Each structure stands twice: as structure tokens, then as C-alpha cells.
Amino acid sequence: MVPEISQLPRLSDQLEEAKRKAAYRAIDENIDFENHKIIGIGSGSTVVYVAERLGQYLKDEKYASKVSQFICIPTGFQSKKLILDNGLQLSNMELYSQLDIAFDGADEVDYNLQLIKGGGGCLFQEKLVSSNAKKFIIVADYRKKSPKYLGTNWVQGVPIEVVPSAYVSVCKDLENKLGAKKAVLRECKGGKAGPVVTDNNNFIIDADFGTIEDPKQLHKDIKLLVGVIETGLFIDNAAKVYFGNEDGSVELVSK
């Protein structure tokens, strides 16, 4: 039997509890076992619980025949592993480019459900998957909810995936042409010396624009710079956000 969320023993870590509650509820309320077939699974620490919940449905004889037919599309290496570790069927965007639904985390969500993503180094594949999903659902903890504008809670800057040889020129363009306060190449913190390399063998720049009142325009401007693959501004594609709160409740915000 799939455990009821209300019956689960609380996790000792409040943040993990918030992430788990948000992710489990998002799956319970949005998966259509009759009609969904192609499911996008994003990256990060909250999505771990999305895959875990799907794995619980897979083990339940009432849902097993349906869930074993689900085809899961990952957004990177971590997400591939989550799919496999939970016994789900793995495929890719080349074989299935139209998804019924996709679930992912976020670094910040504004009042209008625009997002910053890419804090964990995944963004191009996440955007590819989410842009091709009929429905895109975000799972996040309470720290991710912006009071209004992006750049308020997430102050590391907008993650931008770039072709490695272009990182110097893109950093300059971000500062000189687009007015970023600072644009820096993301470096590995331990484990390896040098820059973070994405699953697509690109680099990540973090560009600090302060608070962002018009993320749509900023996204467009950044995309036009030569060498930019994709920005971590996810515009107009999240349909719903599930925020796990500190008190154990879950807040749903939808468009």
C-alpha cells in the first residue's frame, strides 16, 4: 500500500520533511494513472522525493501495472539515477519529445510563478524537458518562495549555461551590456579544482542582477548573447508550485 502522507513518521530534519511533503503531494494530486505515460523527472534534492513516491506507487499492486508502463525522462545524470534506483523505466528526449507532465525543483519562485533554476548545475536539460511537458509542476521548500521578485531570496545570481570557450566574453557582456552587478564562472567547491562542468560539458556563470522585476525580458536579453546555451530563468511554464512549509503544511500556488 502507498503510505498516506498524514500517516508517515516525521523526518527529524524539518527541511527534508518540507521537501518530502511537497513532493509526495505533488505526485498524489497530479499523476493521472489512466492517461499519463511520459513523465519528466527533474534534478535536485526535492525531486528525490518525487521519484521515491513514484517508486512507492510502483510497489503497490493496485498501481503497479500502470506505473511500470510510465516512461520517465531525466534532466541529467542525477535524475537518471533516481529513475533507475526507484525501479522506474528510463528513456530520453530523442525517443519521447512530448511529455504528459514533468516535476522539478526550483531555487526561487516569484509571485507570478516565474522561476530561477540551475543552482545545482542543471538547467539546459531541465528547460528542454519542462518546455516540452503539457504540465510542469514545481516542488520546493519554504525558502524558495520569493516575497515578490526573483533575486530576493536567491542571491547567488541567475545561473547561465554557456559554451566553455565563451565564458569570458559572456561575463563581460553580462556586466557591460546587460548591467549585471557581477558575473562569475561557477567553480567547484571541493572534489575537483576548476569550473563546474554541466552534464552537457558546458560551464555555468552566475550573474547577479539584484532583484529582477522583468524576468521575461532579462531572459530574452541574456539568450541573445553569443555563447549562451540557456538561462536559469524559467518563464511562463510552471503551472503549479507545491511549497512545503516549516510547520508541516503544504501550500499550493497555481496559475
Ligand X SMILES: O=C[C@H](O)[C@H](O)[C@H](O)COP(=O)(O)O
Catalytic residues, which ones? 126
Residue 157 makes contact with ligand X by CB under 6 A: no
Give residues with Cβ within 8 angstroms of 31, minimum separation 6. 39, 54, 57, 101
Cβ closest to ligand X, residue 169 vs residue 243? 243
Q: Which is nearer to ligand X, 153 or 169 (CB)?
A: 153
* Residue 107 engages ligand X in binding (rule: CB under 6 A): yes
Listed in sequence order, the DSSP H helices in 5-122 are 14-30, 47-59, 64-67, 77-85
Could you tell me which stretch among 90-98, 99-107, 205-213, 241-249 binds ligand X (CB under 6 A)? 99-107
Decide: is 40 part of the binding site for ligand X (CB under 6 A): no
Least distance (Å) from ligand X to the CB of residue 34?
28
Q: How many residues bind ligand X (CB under 6 A)?
A: 17
Closest CA to 79 of 66, 68, 90, 71: 90
Are 229 and 163 contacting, i.e. CB atoms less than 8 angstroms apart? yes
Nearer to ligand X, 34 or 189 (CB): 189
Evaluate whether 90 touches 74 at the Cβ level (below 8 Å): yes
Question: For residue 55, which of 111, 125, 3, 132 has the smallest C-alpha distance?
Answer: 3
Residues 110-139 that bind ligand X (CB under 6 A): 117-123, 126
Distance, CA of 180 to CA of 156 (rounded, Å): 12
Of 21, 38, 42, 125, the residue at the interface with ligand X (CB under 6 A) is: 42
DSSP state of 213: S
Looking at beta carbons only, is 71 or 130 nearer to ligand X?
130
Q: Which stretch binds ligand X (CB under 6 A): 10-18, 102-110, 169-177, 242-250?
A: 102-110
Residue 28: alpha-carbon gap to chain centroid: 19
Query: Quick one: which of 3, 5, 10, 45 contacts ligand X (CB under 6 A)?
Result: 45
Provide the binding-site residues for ligand X, judged by CB under 6 A: 42-46, 104-107, 117-123, 126
